[in-house]
Amino acid sequence: MTGRVLVTAGASGVGRAMAEAFDRAGYDVWVSDIDPAALAAVPGHWHAHHADVSDETQMRALFDAIRAADGLDVLCANAGIAGPTDAIEDIDLNAWRTCVSVNLDGAFLAAKHATPLMKVAGSGSFILTSSTAGQHGYPFRAPYAAAKWAVIGLMKTLAMELGPHGIRVNAICPGAVEGPRMEGVLTREAAAKGMTRDQVYRGYASGTAMGRFVEAHDIANMAVFLASDAARLVSGQVIAVDGFTVNPDPKL
Ligand code: NAD
């Protein structure tokens, strides 16, 4: 066994691809999520737990179970929600708070409860999922972009704070990922802008040098690399897996 990994929001989407990649790399895989059906559908040899990343009681229970199983080597603090697509003056405070809570409080709580387990071991790797929105901004997605910038601030700080304990901390910034979540974003944005879904898709894709969306396994491969000894001196880094965003705001 290479080690033990926890992937939050690991039952579907990018998190599930990460969990599958760590499984293939020989890790003991733990996933947490809030979707019971998705949790029930993960491979039987994974440890699947219901835990909302923004709820400290649930996160504490999750980490108690991991502690009882003898610790943690890799944390993928991956959970995040898209939040509202709206002009800033139309964003409801509760929608703002929910978005920031899942994207930022979720990373904070995962890091908070993983840290004691890794300090005991004197080693570990945190991989926080931010977004290209956390590097460039994202018009009409203010709470999401603000939270993803804050995830990078959290990552930089923890990399400094935990380096002396042998713990590395990095952030991955995915670009637009093929899949159901991005389909929802495309549909909402098309409606807001009076465009078709395909026009919005082409706008996103044309904002990257590679001219395309990324796939979940592209993110997962980077996570496995960052967790590995091959990256033993890589910490405090923001790594975009986005096909190189050359225009973060293509005027669609
Ligand atoms: P997704 O919407 O497909 O959701 C994946 C899982 O998250 C689901 O199983 C869902 O049940 C779970 N989840 C939602 N809220 C949760 C909570 N409070 N606690 C625990 N689990 C919860 O998301 P995704 O596309 O796989 O995105 C994963 C990460 O990648 C997120 O942080 C997201 O912001 C980031 N990201 C995604 C994209 C993209 O285009 N999909 C782009 C950039 C960054």
Q: Does residue 144 carry a catalytic annotation? A: yes
Q: Does residue 119 carry a catalytic annotation? A: no
Q: Does residue 228 carry a catalytic annotation? A: no
**Do the beta carbons of residue 236 and residue 169 sit within 8 Å?**
yes
CA of 10 to the centre of ligand 1 (A): 9
For residue 133, CA distances in Å to 57, 107, 189, 244 come to 29, 16, 15, 13
Write out pLDDT tens, residues 101-129.
Answer: 999 999 999 999 999 999 999 999 999 99
Q: Which residues contact 160 (CB under 8 A, 6 or more apart)?
A: 236
The catalytically annotated residue of 12, 101, 131, 235 is 131
Write out pLDDT tens, residues 127-183.
Answer: 999 999 999 999 999 999 999 999 999 999 999 999 999 999 999 999 999 999 889
238: β partners: 171
From the CB of 102, is ligand 1 less than 6 Å away?
Answer: yes
All structural domains of the chain = 4-241 (3.40.50.720)
In whole angstroms, give the CA distance from residue 92 to residue 146: 15
Mean pLDDT computed over every residue of the chain: 96
74: β partners: 5, 125
In whole angstroms, give the CA distance from residue 12 to residue 181: 10
The catalytically annotated residue of 12, 27, 32, 148 is 148
